[in-house]
Amino acid sequence: MFDPKPSQFNLAASASLLPNNLTVFNANDSTTTLFYIHKSAVWQTSITKGGKDEIHRQFCLLDGVSSVHQIKVVEAEDETVLVVAGDHYVQFYSLEGEQVAQHVCDEADSFFNGVDGGKGMIVAGCSTGDVFVFSPKDYTVQTKKTVSEAPITQLCVVKNNVVVADESGCICVVDADLNLLTKLIEGATDVPCLSMCASTSRLYCGFDNGMLHIYNVNDWTKMCAFSGHGRSIFALCSIKDNLISSVGLDSKAQVWHIGADKTAKDKIRISLVFTATIKDRMLVGVQPLADSSLMLACFDSYKVVKFVQKK
């Protein structure tokens, strides 16, 4: 599956203790560009093919008082942009570092958290419980609606719908106009979903207690739930439709094989096909690269770790 002996690359700054604190852009020239949050700044590290060269720079710096909560590379209408969610604002940057747009929330003490993009939409969640849908053409707000009673922790765009998780543990699904479709977790559990990813047929949710839930995105039924980590699951990524990776505060990076869909009486089979422990490091990010290898970000470390698939 993956070579158990990872390679390491340098970062310009250590990754802050935030869920999903790693986003990646894979260029056509085989250069991998990493973006990560360190305090009030977003940093960029570009690694050329083979890892021979590492280029670092401070991508953007806030005013020193504001905080960055989440970042994500998303496909906009005409270009790929980095979306930066923080205190009071959502900012949009070209990958060359030029700020192309900004939206500021009018609510006092509000912050944005949860960013994703899909066909014809870029979405961001807010501590007010609002979800904002931005146009990928000019980054203006197309739709805004309150969909949660608690601050939003994560968003995931799935087939032009938006899955919304909040701090109380509730998860709902809304359409592109932010109208409610269904509730995956209706009552408050006080165990929030900290990470989400989707494949063509499934939604994966990682929780603060180490549980991992899997939903069928065609009818939103829960396929299964199991304990994936001993502590919070801070990041998830889909490697391919039946293969996902999860990392967490228990220092473990794991790869799960998800079996074919079964009936309610015949549950799907979950297999742990790879596990690695990064000693004394809480893992805050995981992203698949163009060659299907995995890149991991560690809290309070100036290194990222790469696991390569065996041929």
How many other β-carbons are positioned within 10 Å of the β-carbon of residue 203? 25
| Assigned token pair, 297 | 């970000």
CA distance 34 to 304: 10
User: Which pLDDT score is estimated for 264?
Assistant: 53
User: Which pLDDT score is estimated for 260?
Assistant: 77
Strand 180-185's sheet: what is its strand order?
152-158, 161-166, 171-174, 180-185
Contact between residue 221 and residue 271 where contact means Cβ atoms under 8 Å apart: no
User: Which pLDDT score is estimated for 150?
Assistant: 96
CA distance 273 to 294: 14
| Assigned token pair, 216 | 């069928």
Residues of the chain with pLDDT under 70: 50-51, 63-65, 261-266
pLDDT tens digits, 130-185: 999 999 999 999 999 999 999 999 999 999 999 999 999 999 999 999 999 999 99
User: Which pLDDT score is estimated for 23?
Assistant: 97
User: Which pLDDT score is estimated for 49?
Assistant: 74
